[in-house]
Structure 1
Amino acid sequence: MKQTFLTSFFFLFILGVKAQKQSISPDTISIFFDELKTASAKNITLWDKDLYGPTILIDPKTREVFSNEQDAEGILKQNGNIFSGILPPDINIANTAVNWSGKKWAMIMLPLSQNRQNRINLLAHESFHRIQPSLGFTLNNVENNHLDQKDGRIYLRLELEALKQAVRSSSEKELKQHLTSAFTFRKYRNTLYNGSEAAENLLELNEGIAEFTGLVVSGRNKEDARSSLLNGIDDFMKNPTFVRSFAYHTTPVYGYLLYNKDKGWNKKIDAKTDLTGYFIKAFKITIPADLQKAVEELYDDYNGKTIIKEEAEREERTKKLIAEYKLKFIQQPHFEIRFEKMNVSFDPRNIVPLEDKGTVYPNIRVTDLWGILTVENGALMSPDWDKISISNPVKTENKKISGDGWILELSDGYTISKDKDSGNYKLVKN
């Protein structure tokens, strides 16, 4: 991509954020930091590096931020053992790693789970993102739009059903049987979509390894770890789309099952590792030569008939939604905004790929040199991530412009103009 930008992919990812207004004490915040510090110290051999470092917890409603150390610019003020202040409006709120005020932070949204293990899991996940460049893992988040297609979804769901059975396995023979099925579904899926294996691998090396790290550092015992993996897959199946969140529920399962055999497997991989090939070799799996025949024979063992029926019905509903979005953001007059130096956060669970036209993000927040755009009713991101399209504006108040489910707060030096022929709006730099 030509322009430089930062992306945060977990906007409003934690359930319960929406309508809660919580008052949290500094003592409670200190407990959260201490939990992460203790868990990180116990698991320092996982990466031979301490996960604990600059961490900020933030209330997405008030933008009040709490940190475990002072920022470089002195924006945060000390309050007992922690530091607090208000995060500037040009910084997007997300569960991510972020460069701000002279430091690279792990950023996590409040409220945190009341379950201690779940809290530590999330904190460790984002802490891994903070240190992952130092471990040799590049920050990559690619769209796996094939996982919004009927067959892509079918064979991912079948893979996950096989992984659930692998987690429940009571013998090595049973474990290997279900892992073989999982990899067979995966390999067949990758034959259906060119480039899908590489795209999936990039997201799994990023989010999958981070979530595996969180799972290990959380300190769950064997029973709790199994329950967490199984419940996670079941919850994941309820997401409207899989394209950016599947890696949270594939790599952690493979990784955890291998961790039970080899505590150091994760230190043998790097940013160029083909995780699928690595796991197949590590588990000593033999993939059937005739993949299509193999998957047809395995359908019934993993709820295949129901999955295929559900996905056929979903495809019909999706076709209607795509037609509506095409009308709104392409065929009808619309407002196109090009990026200059963009930072974006969004909910990865409900995005809608729009064929070769880009991807619709129902909820997204963009900051750029031209200002702040907040969208709650859909926006079309271009395939190259160089522009975003929204519905035409309907109201202007000084520098605040609004339309159907969106608000644009313009910076000085920018205005909007309407093309008389097309009826489209565009951003103009004075």
Structure 2
Amino acid sequence: MPSPRLLLLPVLLLATHAPMARAAPDPESAAWVFGEARRLCEADGGALWGRSLCGPMMIVDPADRGIVASEADAGGVLVAAGAVYTGTLPREAMLANTATEWSGTRWTQLVWPLPQEPALLRAMLVHELFHRIQAGLGLDRSEAGNRHLDTQHGRYLLQLEWRALARALMADDTTALRSHAADALAFREARRRLFPAAAREEAQLEINEGLAEYTGVRIGLAHDEQRRAYGVYALARFLDAPSFVRSFAYASGPAYGLLLDRANPGWRGQLGAEADLGRMLATALDIDLDAAPGLAARERRYDPDGQLQAAEDARERQRQARLSAWRRDLVEGPALVLPLQATGFQFNPQTLAALDGIGTVYPVLRLTDRWGELQVDGGAALVHADRKRAVVALPPGGDGLRGEGWTLSLKPGWKLVPGERKGDLTLSAPAP
């Protein structure tokens, strides 16, 4: 696949630079961001999804949780500061690029600093604006594991799919577009035959995050050439992600959305509860997904020298060693077991990894619940698949409040008590 930097060059050359400070978000820089977001959503005028993307926005500085907002909150917490409003986001409120409810208002929340490159900034702004209205469009989905995308075969077939999608996006004629799209869909179907849950799990995340990223590209960039270049760039920039488990949809979503724009411009009105972007493209291009895939010949077309396969072989050996260490530390060894009841998650989606059928490992995580807060940065927390408990490894002789790469802050009245296994700790709630 061509260099991501080269692919993005035409996108950046056609954009003007954003006058933003790199330090904390000052009112002037924030006002410029809000104006840019308003310009983009007003230019769309609700045409793409039948509803305006415009709405309340806040930018939050993670250093001190200071807020600069585009308008007043319904709860009257923020204070007017010229054209914007300022305040502080409470510690219990989640901090992330997302749609969030706070002080009686539904916001598009952005975490400072924002991208400096104009194309990346505009795509991000629209992506997050879309999330604020997504549920109202009936396009939010419950997200499942996609743990197969951390396996050797799952990763290999996904990357072959991406290589074919990139060529389809770059194709100038319908014949070439259809040929490469058919290859991409063959790799996609082969992956789903290997992993029966993959079709449903992948489709849900491609709707949740893939449509948001597609919307960012479609509205954030003005010209089709820019959009196609960005779509190829998006397929390339996630190749170095530590895991594809949750990040893949940010790459696949724009690719399938832009190809559907060319093959069936009315596709957005056909997104039912079981919508699958790949199957919609197959229908639009009259591609038979049940035909014999001829997979070996297709693999040679997109991995002719076998370097991708060799790289995935090496990564699999490293992954197995990492899984063994996690099993030893998080499953077999002494652990702090945290019950999950009213949980808030803040995490880096590019770092998630599956641990067999047990759950998901989060190397970067902020977890809040009734008992307080767990911060993980450079360590590892295991969230079990049933989402009823999280686990971190207890160091020998530790106090249960800190370990390698994690710290625990408890609310008043909560205390550490022995767990079910010898050597484990868990939490006891305050007396009523």
Same fold, TM-score > 0.5, yes or no: yes
Q: Tell me the amino acid that sits aligned with residue 376 of structure 2.
A: V
Which position in structure 2 is the counterpart of 1:285?
A: 287
Bigger mean CA deviation after superposition, 279-288 or 315-324: 279-288
In structure 1, C-alpha distance between the alignment counterparts of 2:261 and 2:393, rounded to whole Å: 49
Change (3 A) 1:370 1:224: same
Q: Tell me the amino acid that sits aligned with residue 371 of structure 2.
A: W
Deviation at residue 91 of structure 1 after TM alignment: 1.4
Q: Tell me the amino acid that sits aligned with residue 243 of structure 1.
A: V
Which position in structure 2 is the counterpart of 1:191?
A: 193
Write the deviation string for residues 301-351 of structure 1: whole angstroms up to 9, x where unpaired: 112522211111111110000000111111111100001211011111112
Q: Tell me the amino acid that sits aligned with residue 406 of structure 2.
A: W
Alignment of structure 1 residues 189-268 onto 2, 5 Å: 189-268=191-270
In structure 2, C-alpha distance between the alignment counterparts of 1:336 and 1:95, rounded to whole Å: 28
Secondary structure of the equivalent of 1:178? helix
Which position in structure 1 is the counterpart of 2:355?
A: 354
Q: Tell me the amino acid that sits aligned with residue 50 of structure 1.
A: S
Matching of residue 405 in structure 1 with residue 410 in structure 2: no
Q: Tell me the amino acid that sits aligned with residue 424 of structure 1.
A: D
Change (3 A) 1:70 1:207: same
Write the deviation string for residues 268-305 of structure 1: whole angstroms up to 9, x where unpaired: 213332322212111222336223xx111111111252
Q: Tell me the amino acid that sits aligned with residue 297 of structure 2.
A: E
Write the deviation string for residues 95-124 of structure 1: whole angstroms up to 9, x where unpaired: 111111112211111111122232121111
Which position in structure 2 is the counterpart of 1:423?
A: 423
Write the deviation string for residues 378-402 of structure 1: whole angstroms up to 9, x where unpaired: 1011011111001226665xxx922
One of 380, 386, 389 as aligned partner of 1:387: 389
In structure 2, C-alpha distance between the alignment counterparts of 1:229 and 1:270, rounded to whole Å: 24
Q: Residue 416 of structure 1 contacts residue 426 of structure 1 at CA under 8 Å; is this kept in 2?
A: yes
Bigger mean CA deviation after superposition, 152-161 or 116-125: 116-125
Identity %: 31
Q: Tell me the amino acid that sits aligned with residue 357 of structure 1.
A: I
Which position in structure 2 is the counterpart of 1:332?
A: 333
Q: Tell me the amino acid that sits aligned with residue 266 of structure 1.
A: R
One of 45, 52, 55 as aligned partner of 1:53: 55
In structure 2, C-alpha distance between the alignment counterparts of 1:386 and 1:24, rounded to whole Å: 37
Q: Residue 414 of structure 1 contacts residue 429 of structure 1 at CA under 8 Å; is this kept in 2?
A: yes
Q: CA RMSD in A?
A: 1.8
Bigger mean CA deviation after superposition, 311-320 or 97-106: 97-106
Q: Tell me the amino acid that sits aligned with residue 185 of structure 1.
A: F
Q: Tell me the amino acid that sits aligned with residue 328 of structure 2.
A: L
In structure 1, C-alpha distance between the alignment counterparts of 2:172 and 2:276, rounded to whole Å: 28
Alignment of structure 1 residues 3-402 onto 2, 5 Å: 22-43=23-44, 44-287=46-289, 289-291=291-293, 294-303=294-303, 305-376=306-377, 377-392=379-394, 401-402=401-402
Q: Residue 21 of structure 1 contacts residue 61 of structure 1 at CA under 8 Å; is this kept in 2?
A: no
Bigger mean CA deviation after superposition, 199-208 or 69-78: 69-78
Q: Residue 46 of structure 1 contacts residue 264 of structure 1 at CA under 8 Å; is this kept in 2?
A: no
Q: Residue 245 of structure 1 contacts residue 348 of structure 1 at CA under 8 Å; is this kept in 2?
A: yes
In structure 2, C-alpha distance between the alignment counterparts of 1:277 and 1:180, rounded to whole Å: 11
Q: Residue 58 of structure 2 contacts residue 69 of structure 2 at CA under 8 Å; is this kept in 1?
A: yes
In structure 2, C-alpha distance between the alignment counterparts of 1:90 and 1:271, rounded to whole Å: 33
Change (3 A) 1:150 1:267: same
Write the deviation string for residues 10-46 of structure 1: whole angstroms up to 9, x where unpaired: xxxxxxxxxx971332121111111111111111200
In structure 2, C-alpha distance between the alignment counterparts of 1:262 and 1:53, rounded to whole Å: 30
Change (3 A) 1:174 1:255: same
Q: Residue 205 of structure 1 contacts residue 271 of structure 1 at CA under 8 Å; is this kept in 2?
A: no
Q: Tell me the amino acid that sits aligned with residue 257 of structure 2.
A: G
Write the deviation string for residues 215-235 of structure 1: whole angstroms up to 9, x where unpaired: 111024233222212222221
What is the total number of aligned residue pairs between the two structures?
406
TM-score by length of 2: 0.90
Deviation at residue 194 of structure 1 after TM alignment: 1.2
Q: Residue 190 of structure 1 contacts residue 196 of structure 1 at CA under 8 Å; is this kept in 2?
A: yes
Which position in structure 1 is the counterpart of 2:12?
A: none
Secondary structure of the equivalent of 2:95? coil
Which position in structure 2 is the counterpart of 1:5?
A: none
In structure 1, C-alpha distance between the alignment counterparts of 2:119 and 2:265, rounded to whole Å: 20
Secondary structure of the equivalent of 1:285? coil
Secondary structure of the equivalent of 1:380? strand
Moved over 6 A (4+): none
Deviation at residue 61 of structure 1 after TM alignment: 1.9
Which position in structure 1 is the counterpart of 2:9?
A: none
Q: Residue 25 of structure 2 contacts residue 61 of structure 2 at CA under 8 Å; is this kept in 1?
A: no
In structure 2, C-alpha distance between the alignment counterparts of 1:276 and 1:329, rounded to whole Å: 37
Deviation at residue 419 of structure 1 after TM alignment: 4.5
Secondary structure of the equivalent of 2:415? strand
Q: Tell me the amino acid that sits aligned with residue 171 of structure 2.
A: S
Q: Residue 419 of structure 2 contacts residue 425 of structure 2 at CA under 8 Å; is this kept in 1?
A: yes
Deviation at residue 139 of structure 1 after TM alignment: 4.0
Write the deviation string for residues 39-82 of structure 1: whole angstroms up to 9, x where unpaired: 11111200111101021111122211111111121221111111
Deviation at residue 249 of structure 1 after TM alignment: 1.1
Deviation at residue 84 of structure 1 after TM alignment: 1.2
Deviation at residue 260 of structure 1 after TM alignment: 3.4
Change (3 A) 1:395 1:78: farther
Q: Residue 337 of structure 2 contacts residue 419 of structure 2 at CA under 8 Å; is this kept in 1?
A: no
Unaligned runs of 5+ in 2: 1-20
Q: Residue 159 of structure 1 contacts residue 186 of structure 1 at CA under 8 Å; is this kept in 2?
A: yes
Q: Residue 215 of structure 1 contacts residue 225 of structure 1 at CA under 8 Å; is this kept in 2?
A: yes
